[in-house]
Copies of this chain bind each other. A is one copy, B any other.
Amino acid sequence: MATMSPHPAVMVARQRGIETCSSCGARASSVCSAIEDPDLSRLAEVAVHKEMVTGQTLCEEGDTAEHFYNITSGTVKLFKTLPDGRRQITGFASAGHFLGLAVSSTYAFTAEALEPVRLCRFSRPKLRVLLDDFPALEKRLLETAVNELVAAQEQMLLLGRKTARERVASFLLALLQQSGSCGKLSASIHLPMSRHDIADYVGLTIETVSRTLTRLKADKIIDMETPSQIGVLRRGELERIAEARD
């Protein structure tokens, strides 16, 4: 899980703003790692690099699915909306994650940048050719899809059966895990999303999320310097709550 400092040439390329697949910081953690260095030019040929500002949408629910995206930096939120405005965020995708793998011809969700985002865009027909030529890429994609499926099932358990306190604890732990600092007893998390986004992700209201966080703080389980900076003081306790162990 350790992020190694990249090769000097890569550093130079990044400083110059030249972003190629070989210098891509997200490559190791993304599906692109399935393609070996010699074949990387094939990948670079069809990849279009894009930058998006906060609030910009990459795709919208119901639109015809023309592209496949691979996030290289920043975070996007994926969500579905009901006609009356109720929203369910189905996930947050950060560096290394891909999205847009619809089988149907339309996207099943909207994707919106939470912070400035850099990404690689592939047209779906071109991706298809690539997948035919590199079975390893397809394998990696399947692996990732299955991982997401497992995460989705965990989220269903959260949404269907957990209490507000259990939901928030689970959410914080999931963030902690993907922010890499695993194992440590105490750690700090930066929340790139608003209370509204958290609420729409764990199926609560902003008020309940806020109240739950302040209670966790009062219980000395977490710390909150600013609303978006959370320190986990007693990780074990948080895990006990999230898994409903008593």
A residues sitting closer than 8 Å to B (CB atoms) are 78, 80, 82-84, 86-88, 90, 101-104, 108-109, 131-132, 135, 138-139, 141-143, 145-150, 152-157, 159-162, 200, 202-203, 243-246
Contact = CB atoms under 8 A, between A and B. Distances in A.
A147 to B, nearest CB: 5
A139 B142 CA distance: 8
Contact of A160 (B101, B104, B152, B159): B159
A176 to B, nearest CB: 19
Stoichiometry, copies per complex: 2
Contacts of A245: 83
A138 to B, nearest CB: 6
Given A152-B156, A160-B200, 11 more contacts: A82-B243, A88-B157, A88-B160, A103-B147, A104-B150, A131-B139, A138-B142, A152-B152, A152-B153, A159-B160, A159-B203
Contacts of A146: 101-103, 145
Contact of A156 (B90, B139, B246): B90
A152 B87 CA distance: 15
Contacts of A84: 244, 246
28 contacts: A78-B153, A80-B153, A80-B154, A82-B162, A83-B243, A83-B244, A84-B244, A84-B246, A86-B162, A87-B161, A88-B160, A90-B157, A101-B146, A103-B143, A103-B147, A104-B150, A108-B153, A108-B154, A132-B135, A135-B135, A135-B138, A138-B139, A145-B149, A149-B149, A155-B156, A159-B159, A159-B203, A160-B203
Contact of A157 (B80, B141, B147, B157): B80
Given A138-B138, A141-B142, A160-B159, A244 B86 contact: yes
Contacts of A161: 82, 86-88, 203
A143 B245 CA distance: 37
A147 B143 CA distance: 14
A162 to B, nearest CB: 8
| 4 cross-chain pairs, A with B, having the tightest CB-CB distances, nearest first | A160-B203, A159-B159, A152-B152, A88-B157
A67 to B, nearest CB: 15
Q: Which of A84, A145, A155 counts the most B-chain CB atoms under 10 A from its CB? A: A145
Nearest to A199: B160
Contact of A102 (B87, B88, B150, B203): B150
